[in-house]
């Protein structure tokens, strides 16, 4: 029986995280705290060997992933399909601003209304479908693996990936808390998956600060 371990890491903090802005697919860089978080995550995972490493193609994720794989002689595969949920017209706005300007729409964002999409953005169902397809592609590519796989992405896209791997409905994705540079481990085996670790931030010490924003 094959049994691979998937290490899922959310990117480090950005200034938009720090100020509570919806990032979505805007290409924002890590801030100083985020770079420190990424370095600590690299140190935490340094003893492990990875068979493959994947990341979203947005710079905050690439920088986090590179801090993890930089000491290894291995490629980093960047995938557009691992990008964050698109928040459309709301990207760059604080969630407080969205709530003030669009109170009824803002409530739908947190009501597990999977068909609701911010203006110009993606619904939770669309996010789930996109990450389910990515999960199928990645698990298919490593169907015979018994090693470790690294996936670095975003809070929303990783939630969708996790619930897809675990066979959970898309409504469950926002019930998971994923902090900046938190580590989640999912065991993938023949016929199923098991959650081994969720949002471990013990390696971050006093740079754990996390604000809800993708």
**Structure tokens, 38:** 């990424």
Q: Let me know if 203 is a catalytic residue.
A: no
Q: What is the mean pLDDT of residues 65-84?
A: 96
Cα-to-chain-centroid distance, residue 25: 12
Question: pLDDT at position 208, please?
Answer: 55
- Specify the residue for token string 């010490």: 205
User: For a pLDDT cut of 70, what percent of the chain falls above it?
Assistant: 95
Question: pLDDT at position 214, please?
Answer: 39
pLDDT digits (tens, 9 = 90+) for 20-53: 999 999 999 999 999 999 999 999 999 999 999 9
Q: Is the pLDDT of residue 1 over 70?
A: no
Mean pLDDT lowest for which of 134-138, 181-185, 188-192? 188-192
pTM for this structure?
0.94
Q: Let me know if 11 is a catalytic residue.
A: yes
Handedness of CA 100, 104, 105, 110 (dihedral sign): positive
Question: pLDDT at position 210, please?
Answer: 46
Question: pLDDT at position 211, please?
Answer: 40
User: What are phi and psi for residue 153, nearest 5 degrees?
Assistant: -155, -145
Q: Where are the domains of the chain?
A: 3-85+123-207
Q: What is the residue-wise DSSP string for the chain?
A: --EEEEEEEEPPPBHHHHTTB--TT--PPB-HHHHHHHHHHHHHHTT---SEEEEESSHHHHHHHHHHHTTSS---EEEGGGPPPP-GGGTTSBHHHHHHH-HHHHHHHTTT-TT---TTS--HHHHHHHHHHHHHHHHHHTTT--SEEEEEE-HHHHHHHHHHHTT--GGGGGGS---TT-EEEEEEETTEEEEEEEEE-TT-GGG----S--
How would residue 190 be classed by pLDDT, with cut points 50, 70 and 90? Answer: confident
How would residue 110 be classed by pLDDT, with cut points 50, 70 and 90? Answer: confident
Angle 85-86-91 from CA coordinates, rounded to 5°: 120
Q: Is the pLDDT of residue 113 over 50?
A: yes
pLDDT digits (tens, 9 = 90+) for 120-140: 999 999 999 999 999 999 999
Active-site entry in 84, 91, 122, 154 = 84
pLDDT digits (tens, 9 = 90+) for 144-177: 999 999 999 999 999 999 999 999 999 999 999 9
Domain 3-85+123-207 matching CATH 3.40.50.1240: the answer reads yes
């Amino acid at each position: 029986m094959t049994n691979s371990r998937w290490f899922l890491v959310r990117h480090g903090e950005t200034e938009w995280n720090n100020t509570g802005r919806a990032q979505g697919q805007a290409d924002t860089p890590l801030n100083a705290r985020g770079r420190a978080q990424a370095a600590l995550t690299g140190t935490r995972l340094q003893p492990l060997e990875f068979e493959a490493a994947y990341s979203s193609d947005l710079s905050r994720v690439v920088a986090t992933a590179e801090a993890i794989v930089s000491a290894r002689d291995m490629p980093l595969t960047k995938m557009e399909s691992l990008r964050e949920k698109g928040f459309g017209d709301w990207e760059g706005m604080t969630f407080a601003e969205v709530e003030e300007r669009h109170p009824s729409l803002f409530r739908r964002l947190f009501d597990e209304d999977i068909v609701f999409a911010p203006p110009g953005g993606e619904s939770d169902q669309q996010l789930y479908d996109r990450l389910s397809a990515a999960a199928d592609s990645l698990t298919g590519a490593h169907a015979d693996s018994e090693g470790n796989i690294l996936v670095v992405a975003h809070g929303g896209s990783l939630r969708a990936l996790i619930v897809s791997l675990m066979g959970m409905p898309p409504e469950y994705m926002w019930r998971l808390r994923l902090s900046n540079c938190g580590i989640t481990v999912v065991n993938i085996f023949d016929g199923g998956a098991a959650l081994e670790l969720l949002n471990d931030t013990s390696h971050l010490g006093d740079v754990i600060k996390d604000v809800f924003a993708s």
